[in-house]
Amino acid sequence: MSLSAGIIGLPNVGKSTLFNTITNSSVEAANYPFATIQPNVGIVKVMDKRLNKLANLIHPNKTTYATCKFVDIAGLVKGASKGEGLGNQFLSNIREVDAICHVVRCFSEKTITHVYTDVDPIRDVEVINLELIFADLDMVERRLSKLNINAQDKYTLIETKVCKELIHAFKNNILANQIKFTPEEMLIVQNYQLLTMKPMLYIANIDEDDIAMPMQNEHYNTLKKYIHNQYHAQIIPIAINIEYEISLLKEVDKQKFLLDLNIKDPGLDSLITTTYTMLNLKTFFTFGEDECKAWTFVNGMNAVECAGLIHTDFIKGFIRVEVMKYQDLIVSGSELKVKEQGKLKIEGKNYLMQDGDICYFRINK
């Protein structure tokens, strides 16, 4: 499975520059509204340092990282859900993503055109979230109009209740992910692909001078408090322009630049890590001379479900899985020593996969 995330925000808040940074590609990042018309889509490697260390142990023929798809849509404006600024068609481009990265302006650079004359991150967040709500409200109202409200079957009754509850919440500026649903109701809601149901990661685009000490940025502090209190959501600070410059450097120069800036890791590492945590995603590895590979799975999946991520035929043919812990292999230095120490475990189909497990699946072919 592959993580997918949509990048949204007002025009000229750093969305396309963030996309360029993440994908190390080159899309237009012009200083005027609606520079991005068609959505930009990029597939990027999740640079897991653990995979690098595993590969260094045996130097496989191939090293394959987990991937993440990012979709950058045009800047949204007030009225986007009704078609202002072509926003409605842009919103449809991110209905199928797993999570949304909402870029918010927290920098004070006056040469960058802004749809408003001042910097007010809370206002900007409210403008965008209201447009997401309006877009979802329109969808749910259309769905409710197609339901036979006089029908007495259980499913229709539950769906009617769900639609009415969503409409009531939207009209009170409440996001769908702030509503508690029963498991039966959640199955219905998931079919709607609501924008406001998706996990939201807020990215505060801070001034370059604040990259080492983001807490000195007043806009970020204000926004962080608001996001935590209002939405109970995650927020991370990134100086996107600096991150873009870092992404263009060779690895050796990159580490030196980070050291000069007094930064341990790039902000993009935090973006990926936080998104994985937000979506309850973990990583297991397959390990061999032909290939070392990282696989993304949802926390709570068992061994046979994870085997199915490699190939669906593995589900039917699953016999067992041999599991080493990442730390055991790194400390011992070889698979043979892990076995000699009795730390290689044989597990069945109900084994719950753990983050960092190194697996060899035995399959009946």
pLDDT at 88: 53
pLDDT exceeds 50 at position 61: yes
Segment 154-170, tens digit of pLDDT: 889 999 999 999 999 99
Per-residue pLDDT reduced to its tens digit, 338-351? 999 999 999 999 99
- Mean pLDDT over residues 194-212, rounded? 94
**pLDDT higher than 90, residue 60:** yes
Q: Residue 30 above 60 pLDDT?
A: no
Give alpha helix (H) positions in 171-290. Answer: 183-192, 218-231, 240-247, 251-260, 267-278
Q: Are strands 234-238 and 318-325 parallel, antiparallel or unpaired?
A: unpaired
Angle at 24 between CA 20 and CA 28, to 5 degrees: 35
Using 50, 70 and 90 to split pLDDT, how confident is the model at 173? very high
| Average pLDDT score over residue span 36-61 | 86
What band does 192 get if pLDDT is binned at 50, 70 and 90?
very high
Q: What is the pLDDT of residue 90?
A: 63
Q: Which residues contact 293 (CB under 8 A, 6 or more apart)?
A: 51, 62, 63, 64, 285, 286
Q: Quick check: 142 pLDDT over 50?
A: yes
Q: What is the dihedral of CA 225, 229, 232, 237, to 10 degrees?
A: -10
**Residues near 272 by Cβ (< 8 Å), separated by ≥ 6?**
46, 47, 68
> Per-residue pLDDT for 213 more than 70?
yes
pLDDT classification of 87: cutoffs 50, 70, 90 = very low
- 35 has pLDDT over 90: no
pLDDT digits (tens, 9 = 90+) for 306-337: 999 999 999 999 999 999 999 999 999 999 99
| Token representation of residue 343 | 């730390």
Q: What residues are paired with 162 via a beta bridge?
A: none
Nearest CA among 90, 84, 42 for reference residue 195: 90
The type of residue at 266 is P
Task: Tokens for 47, please give them.
Answer: 């640079």
